[in-house]
Amino acid sequence: MTNAHKQNSMALFRDKCRQHNLSITPQRTVIYQELVKSKNHPDSEDIYRTIKNIFPEISLDTVYRTLAKFAEIGLIHLVEGYGEAKRYDPDTNNHHHFRCSECNKIVDFHDDSFDNLKVPKAFQKSFKVVNVKIILEGTCDECIKKL
């Protein structure tokens, strides 16, 4: 996160909380601060461990609840782990996936422009990229009808 973003982040935090009628508690404040400082896309345990030092009475499930809530209101993003079970695909040919956020259905699709993406040069130099995974997220045709 850039410095400009860091400076504004606490204001963003307060605005977002007010918008969604969330109380601004010391726990939430500290959790958000730690998250903004972090560089490694932490999980709840990571945040909990860090905060314990400066806020010993905080509980792990508050961290879980708070991070989930932050993600729900769009203050932060969930980048790994969806709480879902592992799901498998017997088709190993090149294709991509759409996942419906409502019913968790996964639909395959093929698209040339998605297949031919060039990995950024900065990565090719020092990283070995084996796979490019693309997931479209949204609402599927059936769920649109239901809503």
Q: Work out the number of other CB atoms within 10 angstroms of the CB of residue 48.
A: 21
Contact pattern from residue 44 through residue 83 relative to a copy of itself, giving x for each residue in contact according to CB under 8 A and a dash for the rest: xx---------------------x--xx--xxxxxxxxxx
Question: CB of 51: closest distance to a copy of itself in angstroms?
Answer: 14
The per-residue b/e assignment along 99-132, b for 16 or more CB within 10 angstroms, e otherwise, is: bbeeeeeeeeeeeeeeeeeeeeeeeeeeeeeeee
Question: CB of 21: closest distance to a copy of itself in angstroms?
Answer: 20
Residue from 40, 62, 69, 146 that binds a copy of itself (CB under 8 A)? 40
d(CA 26, CA 65): 14
Residue 7 interacts with, from a copy of itself, DNA, none (CB under 5-8 Å by kind): none
The pair of structure tokens assigned to 59 is 């509980």
Residue 73 interacts with, from a copy of itself, DNA, none (CB under 5-8 Å by kind): none
**DSSP 3-state assignment of 97?**
strand
Chain residues binding DNA by CB under 7 A are 21-28, 43-45, 57-62, 64-66, 68, 81, 83, 85-86
